Amino acid sequence: MLHFILAFYILTFTLAAAVSIIAFLLAKKYNSILYIYAGLGFLGALLNLLADIICLYKTTVGNHLYSTHSLDYYMLVVASGFLMLYFIPLLVFRVTNHRFTKPMHAIHILLLFIILSTLIYEYIHYTEIAKNISNILYAFIFTYSAIIIVLNRKRIKHRNVQTVLMSFSILILIIIPSIIIHRFVSLHFFPNNLFLNLPYFNALFLLTSAILALYYGTKYLFNNTALTNFGLPEDSIKKAGISEREEEIIELLIKGLSNAQIAEGLFISPKTVKNHIYHIYQKLGIKSRLQLMNKFLKDS
């Protein structure tokens, strides 16, 4: 049974690792810090899962008694806590167009400090009280982030982004109570049962999130490449000093996409698209899309 659970954890870890890689590739492709926040948040979840995998591996292969009280476990958990609890709220506030004010940032850092301190305290003194405090604060930050997304879903600019974040929020609002109930029942009624005390819901949440993120991540990573392969004349591009992003937008304009469609496809705001188009027109000395199409289709 432990071998099966270990295999499930490793599968989840692999998929989540793929999500982190895709997020960083998207950050490079679209020059967006949002993908970096998402990638680092997933990396934090990966480290948390890795800590559980190490414990399970020691139990399964090394025939050790399952225990989370080890230095490597706590180092991974502390690093995980920092990445998840620092970058995920930043992502949420940025996407929902909220200002992350200095007082909010201070509270955020304070909660993060408390959580990491309790984890370190727990390792030194091996007490369940510290673990319970950190778990409560974890639950609070994730639940708060999910509620922010749900309440401000109309402020999220793009439909697909809204769908992804709403899905994550619903998962969080389902999983967090499940984790609390599972932990309460296992600790109070089955304290010595290893199978019932393993953090299944954490892994299940990460697996579901990874599948969802992989679907949308690969969609944005590969579909847009196929979308922007029109092939503009290099001479015209170089002479005008057109940037790579502007070239992508020109290709989409020639294909007849609207500003809103371009914004959604490139994962940027409509205002940013409008600014790019303005600069394109300035560089090319034109005033309309028709002139743009005539220029490049003629050159082609």
Q: pLDDT by residue (tens digit) across 27-44? A: 776 666 778 888 998 898
CA dihedral 13, 14, 16, 20 (to 10 degrees): 130
Q: What number does CATH give the domain 228-299?
A: 1.10.10.10
Whether pLDDT at 273 is above 80: yes
> pLDDT by residue (tens digit) across 88-123?
888 888 777 666 677 877 887 888 888 778 777 777
Residue 233 CA from chain centroid, whole number? 37
38-42, 179-183, 235-239, 280-284: range with lowest mean pLDDT? 235-239
Per-residue pLDDT at 298? 59
Could you tell me the pLDDT band of residue 128, with boundaries at 50, 70 and 90? Answer: low
Share of the chain above pLDDT 70, in %: 77
- pLDDT of amino acid 224: 47
Percent composition of the chain: helix, strand, coil (DSSP 3-state, to 5):
85, 0, 15
Distance from C-alpha of 124 to C-alpha of 205, rounded to nearest angstrom:
29
- Of 16-20, 243-247, 296-300, the least confident: 296-300
Per-residue pLDDT at 236: 65
Q: How much is the pLDDT for 158?
A: 65
> Is the model's pLDDT at 163 over the cut of 80?
no
In contact, 251 and 241? CB cutoff 8 Å: no
> Position of tokens 């290893």?
194
pLDDT for 274 equals 92
In this predicted structure, what is the pLDDT of residue 228?
39
Quote the DSSP letter at residue 70: S
CATH number assigned to the domain with residue range 2-216, chosen from the 4 options 2.60.40, 1.10.8, 1.10.3470, 1.20.1070: 1.20.1070
Condensed to tens digits (0 to 9), the pLDDT of residues 144-153 reads 888 888 888 8
CA angle (102 as vertex; 100, 105 as ends), nearest 5? 65
Element (H, E) at 277: helix 270-284
Q: Where are the domains of the chain?
A: 2-216, 228-299
Tell me which residue of 196, 193, 88 sits closest to 149, measured CA to CA: 88
Give 232's pLDDT tier (boundaries 50, 70, 90). low
CB burial of residue 85 (10 Å; 0-12, 13-18, 19+):
buried
Determine the Cα–Cα distance for residues 212 and 206; give it in Å rounded to an integer.
Answer: 10
Least confident of 21-25, 54-58, 203-207, 286-290: 54-58
Q: What percent of the chain has pLDDT over 90?
A: 4
**Which contacts of 178-185 are long-range, i.e. CB under 8 A and separated by 24 or more positions?**
179/139, 180/139, 183/135
For residue 227, give both structure tokens: 């979308």
Identify the band that residue 233 occupies on the pLDDT scale cut at 50, 70 and 90: low
What are the two backbone dihedrals, phi and then psi, of residue 243, each rounded to the nearest 5 degrees?
A: -80, 170
Beta strands in the chain (DSSP E): none
pLDDT score, position 77: 81
Q: Report, as an integer, the average pLDDT of 155-180.
A: 78
What is the three-class DSSP state of 11?
helix
Are 56 and 8 in contact by the 8 Å Cβ rule? The answer is no
What was the pLDDT predicted at 277?
A: 92
Q: Are 204 and 175 in contact (CB under 8 A)?
A: yes
